[in-house]
């Protein structure tokens, strides 16, 4: 009888642990019961102001495994979070309370502004035209170092997927050249000692090539918006090495692409998937993760 009670308890305990772990996946096949990588795009852009500390804290509450974010460089060489290297008209309120208009947004060039100047602009109060359910809060563009400190205090196991916003046409205008950009970014990452939990992603192969040469242990993700008449094999040939992750726009994912990535040992993580049925469909096809503006959909 005593043995039966203990055995029953162990069975219940095991079932309980399995149930609790079913959503606690591990990024990049790092182990655990489910190695699927759930990434919150810009934190959780559909729910909170993008690339802000409140967005990342909300994403953590929703049990993402990786926080996806974008970084740019300021005039005084600070690494801050921003999807564009300027103040986007969709999200920005000026110091005087008025909104930045689309025709003038590129004049608010972050690379030509100091961090102190940037903190005068709000990026959380203006209603977002494409994300009506986004909660509005007064918030500024944060330093990457402050984001990491806050995240680590709340979840010391989180992965970071950081995009470098560079392209050849705007070198020296909206951002430094890739080597300077990457070194500034890596200085922050190394100072916070999170190298083993960082992915650096980019559409700009120059960033990834420099990173691969100087910081070969850092995970890399090649972002693809369209095939641009280049086959998968050609894209990797142009890159010059096999990245950790191949990250295409969601509509580009096919069974053939899934197979090619698996054959090379490359993780396939598409973006940005904001439909629960599409998430299920892509998982069934065999992708290794999903990037979404709505990480609350993952639990569904």
Let me know: does 144 contact 71? Beta carbons within 8 Å.
yes
pLDDT (tens digit, 9 = 90+) per residue, 241-270? 999 999 999 999 999 999 999 999 999 999
Among 162, 141, 126, residue whose Cα is nearest residue 74: 141
Q: pTM here? A: 0.90
The mean pLDDT of 191-202, rounded to a whole number, is: 98
pLDDT (tens digit, 9 = 90+) per residue, 35-48? 899 999 999 999 99
pLDDT (tens digit, 9 = 90+) per residue, 125-164? 999 999 999 999 999 999 999 999 999 999 999 999 999 9
* Residue 183 pLDDT greater than 90, yes or no: yes
What per-residue confidence (pLDDT) applies to 28? 64
Among 33, 58, 40, 54, residue whose Cα is nearest residue 160: 40
Tokens found for residue 195 = 């190298």
Backbone angles phi, psi at 194, to 5 degrees: -120, 20
Q: Which domains does the chain have, with CATH numbers?
A: 38-299 (3.20.20.190)
What per-residue confidence (pLDDT) applies to 219? 98
What per-residue confidence (pLDDT) applies to 230? 83
């Amino acid at each position: 009888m005593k043995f039966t009670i203990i055995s029953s308890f162990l069975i219940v305990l095991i079932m309980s642990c399995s149930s609790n772990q079913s959503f606690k996946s591990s990024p990049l096949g790092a182990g655990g019961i489910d190695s699927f990588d759930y990434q919150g795009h810009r934190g959780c852009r559909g729910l909170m102001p993008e690339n802000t500390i409140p967005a990342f804290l909300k994403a953590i509450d929703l049990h993402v495994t990786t926080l996806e974010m974008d970084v740019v460089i300021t005039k005084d060489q600070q690494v801050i979070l921003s999807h564009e290297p300027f103040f986007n008209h969709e999200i920005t309120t000026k110091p005087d309370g008025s909104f930045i208009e689309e025709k003038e947004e590129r004049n608010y060039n972050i690379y030509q502004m100091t961090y102190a100047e940037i903190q005068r602009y709000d990026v959380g109060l203006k209603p977002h035209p494409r994300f009506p359910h986004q909660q509005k809060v007064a918030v500024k563009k944060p330093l990457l170092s402050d984001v990491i400190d806050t995240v680590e205090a709340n979840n010391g196991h989180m992965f970071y997927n950081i995009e470098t916003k560079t392209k050849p046409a705007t070198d020296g205008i909206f951002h430094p050249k890739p080597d300077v950009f990457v070194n500034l970014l890596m200085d922050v990452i190394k100072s916070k000692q999170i190298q083993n939990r960082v992915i650096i992603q980019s559409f700009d192969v120059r960033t990834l090539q420099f990173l691969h040469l100087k910081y070969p242990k850092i995970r890399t993700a090649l972002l693809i918006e369209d095939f641009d008449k280049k086959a998968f094999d050609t894209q990797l040939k142009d890159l010059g090495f096999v990245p950790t992750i191949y990250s295409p726009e969601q509509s580009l994912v096919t069974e053939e692409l899934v197979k090619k990535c698996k054959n090379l040992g490359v993780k396939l993580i598409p973006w940005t998937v904001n439909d629960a049925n599409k998430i299920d469909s892509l998982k069934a096809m065999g992708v290794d993760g999903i990037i979404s503006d709505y990480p609350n959909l993952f639990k569904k």
